[in-house]
Chain A
Amino acid sequence: MTVNTSRRGFLKGAAAAGAVLVVGVRPDGALAASGNPSMLTPFVQVGSDGSVTAIIKHFEMGQGPSTGLTTLIAEEMGLTMDQIGYDFAPSNPQVYNNTLFGPMQGTGGSTAMANSYLQYRQAGAAAREMLLQAAAQQWGVDASGLSLQDGVVSGAGNSAPLGEFVEAAATLDAPTEPRLKDPSEFRLIGNPDVRRLDSPAKGNGTAMFAMDIQRPNQMIAMIARPEQQRATAVSFDATGAEGIKGFISADILPNKAGVAVFAENTWAAMQARDALDIEWDTSNAETRSSDQIEQEIRAALDASPTYNVNGADVSAVQAAVDGADTVVEETFYFPLLAHAPMEPLNCTIEQTEDGGILMHDGCQIPTLPHGAMAEIFGLPFEKVQIKTVLAGGSFGRRATPQADYQVEAALAFSLTDRSRPVHLVWSREDDLRSGYYRPAFGHKVRVGLDGEGNIVGWEHRIAGQSIMKGTPFEAFAVHDGVDHSSVEGTVDSPYQIPTAAFGLTDTDKATSTLWWRAVGHTHTAYVMEVMMDMAAKAAGIDPVDFRLAYLTGDDADQTRKANVLKLAAEKANWGNAPDGRSQGIAVHKSFNSYVAEVVEISGNADDGIKIEKVTCAVDCGIAVNPDVIKAQMEGGIGYGIGHNMRDKITLTDGVVDQFNFPDYEPLRISDIGEIDVHIVPSAEPPTGVGEPGTPPAAPALANAIAAASDLRVATLPMDDNGVSFV
């Protein structure tokens, strides 16, 4: 396996090796092929030396698309995984767009595999058919009798390495509808023994993350930012920085959002930044505290919602709840959360020989910074290039509608004479205090039960800070005033809940809001699944049976959700926890995948809880790389549990209170025991795996705590609200 870290170097190398066949799609989506890599931006490139390279249009933040999309090409071309390499695609929204995003290249919403599954298989299948056709012509036989397996074309008494047919294949037209392999022919798709292609480099220090980019003669830039959002820099005194060895200069960013410090190395930049004396204009600065944000949200929950999300007859629903035999009600509050990817944000910008701009970035949505840089530098779109390198995590943070850190780097670069590359580096403090957070949300739910424990009414109010409003994604995600990301997982739940009303009220944002792994489901799943648990308990019905009663429909939404619930319960030996242990369960659909989780704990809320085991069942359609899917469930569970155990971002007079990991403690190895993941066999198209493991984890933990201690945690994080962990 080879990883080509320099796309331009790779293309040059391919040309030097001889003929090349590239297969991809035209901007209209039709398959196309060429013998000239400069004529087509491909999905797969085949060299006459037999080398095959998958071109990956999604970025790699650990979720596995470099392995996954390469698997698709290798499968259709009959290759083993060590006969193929991969390279990250350049920024090109026409060819490398996420087909679920429209004309935008980007990774998010757990869509990498879902939108690439057929596209990459078709490209691999087209390459296979073209190589077979070229061999058939050379051998004077019918292509239908030939096959491509393990890098060798054979049939009709002939056999030769695929590289021999590359030159001839590159002169053929791409087939319009190449035959895709039948699942019965799969050797790699669904194979649990396929390993990650990026494991070796990530274990020996050679993997190149954005932070590791060291361009010749580069400067390090760091930005001194105001403590309160929307404060602006007026003036600064750099006298204190001038004696620091390696300090070059400092200047106010053109948008006044901070002061850029340039230095020869990172340590000098950090020290020089600390030594600046800056005067800020705070007249428009944010001054609210998180207590005030919480009060606004809680007040909104007590008022009639702005939006009637499901067009319910609200008074009828209220009457149904009020008239019920039992009413179960709870009010929930979810604080701001930071993403805190392991690699602090950073990117490098340089000027190319032809006066264009090249950015090196672990880039999640290349189209957004691409456009922003073209505007900032006054360049046509095609004069800006983005080279995507490995990202050390993201969880959504590397994709902001404003392209925040890339714009910051571009503005810093614009302050220089552009003769030296500029590598913008953030510290962990910059990351936690940057102002982009999972928004704060509140829910207030009243559930009415009849004498037999059936739900007869469900009144659900949501209040919080919209993510999508005021962004380029508004038209896509906001309909009739309702930001879907504020309510996803409630009104569209597969549960068949009779007589339900879902209302939404937007509250003001004191900070920038941003999608955070699983977006709205991070709070909606918690509320839905804790309420179902509370209702089951009030009804005196087992929590699994209670949920299944609302999943009795014949459509796939109900059956798939019911199946993962039953599978997780079975694998966890639900209801038969060992002595001293308690179980909680939750199930949730997100990103078109269905995940159920059982959390098993020891101890109780007062003496300390230990998370002993998590059992997970996932239905994500066809499991392309089963072990990657298991890893994403394991990681998603850890992400959901860790933050809800003990993390929050708070503000005092508009200033973020947290500085670094000691104040925003990550999940540690000792916090969580075994995670046992089971994948439901499926022939359905692949759906998301990066995010869906996260939503059920915290409510399953909350339900286990309630089983152990009779304590319902409705305000997060848990350790601020009555739960201690050992």
Chain B
Amino acid sequence: MAISLKLNGKTHAVDAEPGTPLLWVIRDDLKMTGTKFGCGVASCGACTVHLNGEPVRSCQTYIEDVDGAEITTIEAMSDDTIGAAVQQAWVELDVVQCGYCQSGQIMSAVGLLRENPTPSADEIDDYMWGNACRCATYQRIRAGIQRASEILEA
């Protein structure tokens, strides 16, 4: 089926079968590899993108459900005020280790800060629970979100 996909502000005509996860359209058809495949069952969060501004797991978001929607990926975060602050905080604190989950961590962190500009540690834990990091960078993720909050407040 032909889909009109609006991704990072640009419209793409995509031909994909119904039931195709958005993740694979982004990665394999549009060749944008910042969004990662980790589990395929919405259990790790590595594939998190924004759908109309809200974080979703792109491995369990199907192409027929996103026709005309606004999709945003990690590649566009430097153009987003909150995204840029999170990225700056991530570099300041060297949050990453292997880094494979971090696109998804950042997409979720931006979603959190968009709805709650000054989250507490518990609120961060509640919101970020679904983003797994096998390197266990969690304490720096927590600190990174709080640092991004400070950057945005300044």
Within 8 A of B (CB), among A245-260: 245
| Contact pattern, B 66-80, Cβ under 8 Å of A = 1, otherwise 0 | 000000011101100
Interface assignment of B115: CB less than 8 Å from any CB of chain A: no
Complex formed: what's the CA distance from A593 to B100 in Å?
27
Other-chain residue from B37, B102, B125 in contact with A670 (beta carbon distance below 8 A) = B125
Cβ contact within 8 Å between B140 and A245: no
In Å, the complex CA distance between A60 and B99 comes to 10
Instruction: Give Cα A198–Cα B97 distance, bound, in whole angstroms.
Output: 9
Contact partner of B91 among A195, A207, A667, CB < 8 A? Answer: A195
- Asked if A267 is at the interface of the complex by the 8 Å CB criterion, the answer is yes
Min distance, Cβ A573 to any Cβ of chain B, angstroms: 19
Closest CB of chain B to A389's CB: distance in Å?
A: 12
In the complex, how many angstroms separate the beta carbon of A221 from the nearest chain B beta carbon?
Answer: 14
- In the bound complex, residues from chain B placing their C-beta under 8 Å from that of A668 are 129, 132, 138
A427 interfacial by beta-carbon distance below 8 Å: yes
A341 near B98 (CB under 8 angstroms)?
yes
Asked if B10 is an interface residue, CB under 8 A from chain A, the answer is no
Q: Are B135 and A265 in contact (CB under 8 A)?
A: no
**Which residues of B (1-44) have their CB < 8 Å from a CB of A?**
17, 20-21, 24, 27-29, 31-41, 43-44
Q: What sequence of 0s and 1s flags, for each residue 334-367 of chain A, a beta carbon within 8 Å of any chain B beta carbon?
A: 0000001111100000000000000000000000
Query: Does B113 have its Cβ within 8 Å of any Cβ on chain A?
Result: no
Chain B hits for A635, CB < 8 A: 97, 135-137
Kindly state the separation between the CA atoms of A341 and B97 in the bound complex, as whole angstroms: 12
Closest CB of chain A to B50's CB: distance in Å?
A: 13
B41 touching A669, Cβ below 8 Å: no
Asked if A393 and B43 make an inter-chain contact with CB atoms under 8 angstroms apart, the answer reads no
A140 beta carbon closer than 8 Å to chain B: no
Q: A200 within 8 Å of B by Cβ?
A: yes
Are A672 and B138 closer than 8 Å at their CB atoms? yes
Residues of A within 8 A of B31 (CB): 214
Query: Which of A199, A267, A670 neighbours the largest number of chain B CB atoms within 10 Å of its CB?
Result: A267
B94-106 contact mask (Cβ, 8 Å, vs A): 1 or 0: 1111111111001
Q: Once the chains bind, are A267 and B21 in contact (CB under 8 Å)? A: yes
Cα-based distance from A205 to B47 in the complex (angstroms): 12
Chain B CB count within 10 A is highest, among A342, A392, A632, for A342
Q: Are A202 and B24 in contact (CB under 8 A)?
A: no
Q: A205-B73, A211-B36, A669-B125 are in contact. Are A634 and B98 (CB under 8 A)?
A: no
* Alpha-carbon distance A208/B99, docked complex (angstroms): 10
Contacts of A202 in B (CB 8 A): 96, 99, 102
Residues of B within 8 A of A157 (CB): none
Instruction: Count A-B pairs with CB separation below 8 Å.
Output: 182
Q: Is the pair B135, A342 in contact by a Cβ cutoff of 8 Å?
A: yes
Q: Are A204 and B77 in contact (CB under 8 A)?
A: yes
Measured in the bound complex, the distance between the Cα atoms of B130 and A669 in whole Å is: 9
| A668 (CB) vs chain B CBs: closest residue | B129
**A655-693 interface bits toward B, Cβ cutoff 8 Å, 1 = contact, 0 = none:** 000001110001111101111000000000000000000
Range, interface on chain A: 35 or more
Q: Are A62 and B75 in contact (CB under 8 A)?
A: no
- CB-contact partner of A62 in B27, B97, B125, B142, under 8 A: B97
- Distance A200 CA – B89 CA, assembled complex (angstroms): 10
Per the bound structure, the CA–CA distance linking A212 and B74 in Å amounts to: 14
Bound state CA distance, A395 and B20, in angstroms? 32
Q: Is B56 an interface residue (CB 8 A)?
A: no
Of all chain A residues, the one with the shortest Cβ separation from B121 is: A673
Q: Which residues of B contact A200 (CB under 8 A)?
A: 87, 91
Contact partners of A661 in chain B: CB under 8 A:
39, 41, 43-44, 132
CB distance from B35 to the nearest CB of A (A): 7
Name the segment of A43-51, A178-186, A525-533, A637-645 touching the other chain: A637-645
Does A670 contact B129, Cβ atoms closer than 8 Å?
A: yes
When chains A and B are docked, how far (Å) is the Cα of A669 from the Cα of B104?
A: 14
Q: Give, as a whole number of angstroms, the nearest-CB distance from A394 to chain B.
A: 8
Instruction: Give the distance in Å from the alpha carbon of A634 to the alpha carbon of B96 in the complex.
Output: 12
| B129 & A393 in contact (Cβ 8 Å cutoff) | no
In angstroms, how far is the closest chain B Cβ from the Cβ of A599?
A: 14
User: Nearest chain B CB to A641's CB is how many angstroms away?
Assistant: 8
- Residue B134, interface by CB 8 Å: yes
Which residues on B sit within 8 Å (CB–CB) of A373? none
Asked if B40 and A393 make an inter-chain contact with CB atoms under 8 angstroms apart, the answer reads no
Closest to B75 in A: A205
How far is the CB of B60 from the nearest CB of chain A, in Å?
Answer: 12
Which of A245, A395, A428, A637 has a CB less than 8 Å from the CB of B39?
A428
Give the chain B neighbours of A38 by CB distance below 8 A: none
B128, chain A: closest CB distance, angstroms = 5
Specify which of B73, B95, B101, B134 lies most central, judged by the most chain A CB atoms within 10 Å of its CB: B134
A309 to B131, CA, bound (A): 44
Q: Please judge, given known A-B contacts A344-B38, A639-B136, whether A63 and B96 are in contact too, CB under 8 Å.
A: no
Known: A392-B99, A635-B136, A639-B134. 19 other contacts (CB 8 A): A62-B99, A200-B87, A203-B95, A209-B99, A267-B21, A340-B134, A341-B100, A344-B37, A428-B41, A627-B94, A631-B140, A634-B139, A637-B136, A660-B41, A662-B41, A666-B44, A669-B124, A669-B131, A670-B129
Give residues in A with beta carbon < 8 Å to B: 60-64, 195-196, 198-209, 211-212, 214, 220, 245, 265-267, 270, 340-344, 390-395, 427-428, 627-628, 631-632, 634-635, 637-639, 642, 660-662, 666-670, 672-675
**B interface residues with partner A (beta carbon < 8 Å):** 17, 20-21, 24, 27-29, 31-41, 43-44, 46, 73-75, 77-78, 87, 90-91, 94-103, 106, 124-126, 128-129, 131-142
List of 6 A-B pairs having minimum Cβ-Cβ separation, nearest first: A205-B34, A638-B136, A392-B100, A202-B99, A62-B98, A62-B97
Some 25 contacts from A to B, beta carbons below 8 A apart, are A203-B91, A203-B95, A204-B74, A204-B75, A205-B103, A209-B99, A209-B100, A214-B31, A266-B24, A266-B37, A340-B134, A341-B98, A343-B98, A344-B37, A392-B100, A392-B101, A393-B134, A428-B38, A634-B137, A635-B137, A638-B136, A661-B39, A661-B44, A667-B132, A669-B141
